[in-house]
């Protein structure tokens, strides 16, 4: 009797396995490129404008994303800033910080924030803000400016110890994309290397204005340079000199 019962159980077990194997289970993953933008914070007043944008990959595919801000006065775009690219997988959220500063500026402005992601552009978020900047120059010195294939580099000297230093192109050729950076601290009498990446479909010689400012707006400097790309042997000589300088810095 026990043998017969055991046989029934074995048959039932095999039947369940066969039924499971015959059942086709399909998991559907949405292959869409979607995202949700939220500007989580704007800090302004007398210091540097700081824009913190959060972006959520709500689709089913991974992609690279970068933020763009436009500062508008009246109907004129007076500044465009770009963040670095970041990879977002499905369901992931990441923040993008961008900065702007213009000394001795007062008034009401509009801020337009967009995210460029997977060949798509998010709907713009528009916020209004008021700014009243001051500033004290002659703290920073920019020197040894060089242009390479996809980045610019220069040395930034401070005549006093400063913290939270924002560096970005204040004016640059239209159609180009430039990065920004923040330096935690520069000690008095010391210099640091600054590298800002750029992208352009067609390179041509043009001028660029570099803005350097502490986040509180107390100290700043602005200087203009020519974007003249190094090529050939001269490029490699300068790359070696940059490396050597950083070793000895």
Rounded to 5 degrees, φ, ψ at 12 are -65, -40
Kindly report whether the global pTM for this prediction surpasses the value 0.85: no
Whether residues 127 and 211 share a domain: the answer is no
Task: Tell the residue number behind the tokens 């390179």, with chain if given.
Answer: 203
pLDDT at 169: 98
Please tell me the chain's helix, strand, coil percentages from 3-state DSSP, rounded to the nearest 5.
Answer: 15, 50, 35
Distances (CA, A) of 158 to 144, 164, 185, 203, 249: 15, 13, 10, 31, 14
pLDDT tens-place values along the chain, 249 residues long: 545 554 555 555 555 555 554 444 444 556 899 999 998 777 766 789 999 999 999 999 999 999 999 999 998 999 999 999 999 999 999 999 999 999 888 889 999 999 999 999 999 999 998 888 888 888 999 999 999 999 999 999 999 999 999 999 999 999 999 999 999 999 999 999 999 999 999 999 999 999 999 999 899 999 999 999 999 999 999 999 999 998 988
Whether residues 128 and 146 share a domain: the answer is no
Question: CB atoms < 10 A from the CB of 174, how many?
Answer: 7
Whether residues 216 and 234 share a domain: the answer is yes
Whether residues 128 and 150 share a domain: the answer is no
Final residue of a structural domain among 115, 132, 149: 132
pLDDT at 41: 73
Whether residues 150 and 68 share a domain: the answer is no
CA–CA separation, 239 and 206 (whole Å) = 22
pLDDT at 106: 87
Whether residues 78 and 123 share a domain: the answer is yes
Final residue of a structural domain among 78, 99, 132: 132
Rounded to 5 degrees, φ, ψ at 127 are -135, 145
Structure tokens at 17: 């396995």
Work out how many domains the chain is built from and give that number: 2
CATH assignment at residue 111: 2.60.40.10
Whether residues 244 and 149 share a domain: the answer is yes
CA–CA separation, 148 and 146 (whole Å) = 7
Alpha helices in the chain (DSSP H): 2-22, 232-248
DSSP state of 219: B
Final residue of a structural domain among 76, 100, 132: 132
Q: Is residue 14 part of a domain?
A: no
Q: Is residue 149 part of a domain?
A: yes
Q: Is residue 8 part of a domain?
A: no
SS3 annotation, 96-123: EEEEECCCCCEEEEEEEEEEEECCEECC
Q: Is residue 17 part of a domain?
A: no
Three-class SS of residue 11?
Answer: helix
Q: What is the domain extent for residue 104? A: 36-132
Q: Is residue 189 part of a domain?
A: yes
pLDDT at 29: 53
Q: Is residue 127 part of a domain?
A: yes
Whether residues 43 and 100 share a domain: the answer is yes
Q: Is residue 47 part of a domain?
A: yes
């Amino acid at each position: 009797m026990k043998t017969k019962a055991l046989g029934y159980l074995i048959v039932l077990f095999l039947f369940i396995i066969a039924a499971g194997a015959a059942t086709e289970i399909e998991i559907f993953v949405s292959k869409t490129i979607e995202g949700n933008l939220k500007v989580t914070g704007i800090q302004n007043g007398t210091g540097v404008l700081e824009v913190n944008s959060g972006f959520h990959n709500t689709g089913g595919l991974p992609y690279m994303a970068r933020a763009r801000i436009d500062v508008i006065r009246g109907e004129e775009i007076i500044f465009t800033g770009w963040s670095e690219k970041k990879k977002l997988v499905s369901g992931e959220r990441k923040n993008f910080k961008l900065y702007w500063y213009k000394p001795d500026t007062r008034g009401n402005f509009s801020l337009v924030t967009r995210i460029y992601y997977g060949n798509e552009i998010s709907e713009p978020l528009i916020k209004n803000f008021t700014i009243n900047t001051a500033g004290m120059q002659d703290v920073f010195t920019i020197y040894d400016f060089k242009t390479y294939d996809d980045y610019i580099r220069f040395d930034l000297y401070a005549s006093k110890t400063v913290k939270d230093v924002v560096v970005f192109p204040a004016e640059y050729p239209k159609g180009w994309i430039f990065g920004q950076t923040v330096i935690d601290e520069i000690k008095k009498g010391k210099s640091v290397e600054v590298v800002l990446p750029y992208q352009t479909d067609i390179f041509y010689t043009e001028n660029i204005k570099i803005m350097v400012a502490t986040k509180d707006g107390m100290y700043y400097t602005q200087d203009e340079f020519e974007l003249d790309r190094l090529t050939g042997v001269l490029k490699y000589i300068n790359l070696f000199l940059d490396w050597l300088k950083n070793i000895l810095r």
